[in-house]
Structures are given as structure tokens and as C-alpha cells.
Amino acid sequence: MDFQGRFPMFTSLRWSLIGLLSFTLVQAVSAAECAPDTRRGAEVFATECSVCHAVTKGTAGMMGPNLFGVYGRKSGSLADFSYSQAMRDKDVSWQAETITQLITQPQAFVPGTYMPYMGLASADDRQAVACFLKEQH
């Protein structure tokens, strides 16, 4: 199928995702400070992270650990994922601060990590992704 043929489907998927996120935001009082960022965060996640990470419950078998419910989770703690020793030993709770530090430069924050990602240059994009992940629970 050519790009023209696929584009309308992409657009409607995109709008339903935005609708779903807005609904989630209305539900989640604690998300107030993240509200303007979340839609951007979903886009950044899609382009930067989704090739390796799922955010839907129960999805396994990707290169990176499932990030559903990652907010508040201890680093390297999913039983069914084979983490590096570095990530197991890191012992942080994933919050906005720790997630943004990780994705700034994974090898600097967790030397020896298996996450083969160079880092996200834009601080706004890092914050937006962290806000998006906060909603995935």
C-alpha cells in the first residue's frame, strides 16, 4: 500500500489516541501539572521509544521492558525481563526526575545498561515523555 492510502488511517488513529489521552487526563487529578505535555509526550514516545518499549499491560517480547505502570516502579524489577546487572543494581524509583535523567544519556545515568539509546536532546521532549509515562497505569 502506498503512503497516500495509509495516511487517512494514521490520522484517525492519531485523533482517537488524543481523545483517549484527554479522557485519561480528566480522570487523573494528579496529572494537572503534566496536562499540556502529555499529547506531545505520546508523539515523542511513538517516535523515540515505542520501537523497543510497549506501554500496554501484558505486552512482552520487545527489546526493552514494558513501561506500563513504570511510574513509581523500582528500576530493573520486572520479573519476566532480563535486565543488565547495572539496571538491577541501580535501585531508583522511576519518577519524572529519574526518567528524564535516564533518557538524557542512558549510559551516563546507568553505566553498563543494555538500553542502546543515545539520548533525547530536548529537555521539553524529555519532560513530555515522562508525563506521558505517568499516565500509563
- In the bound state with ligand HEC, the residue whose beta carbon lies nearer, of 83 and 134, is 83
Is 9 in contact with 1 (CB distance < 8 Å)? Answer: no
Q: Residue written as cell 536532546?
A: 121
For 6, half-sphere exposure in the C-beta direction (CA atoms, 13 angstrom radius) is 3
Q: Residue written as cell 483517549?
A: 20
Site for ligand HEC in 93-122 (CB under 6 A): 94, 99, 102-103, 113-117, 120
- In the bound state with ligand HEC, the residue whose beta carbon lies nearer, of 14 and 117, is 117
> In the chain, which ranges are continuous DSSP H helix?
3-27, 38-48, 85-90, 96-104, 106-109, 123-134
Per-residue x/- track, 37-76, ligand HEC (CB under 6 A): -----------xx-xxx---------xxx----x----xx
- In the bound state with ligand HEC, the residue whose beta carbon lies nearer, of 11 and 122, is 122
Distance CA 43, CA 26 (A): 19
- In the bound state with ligand HEC, the residue whose beta carbon lies nearer, of 31 and 78, is 78
Q: Return residues touching ligand HEC (CB under 6 A).
A: 48-49, 51-53, 63-65, 70, 75-76, 78, 83-84, 86-87, 94, 99, 102-103, 113-117, 120, 129
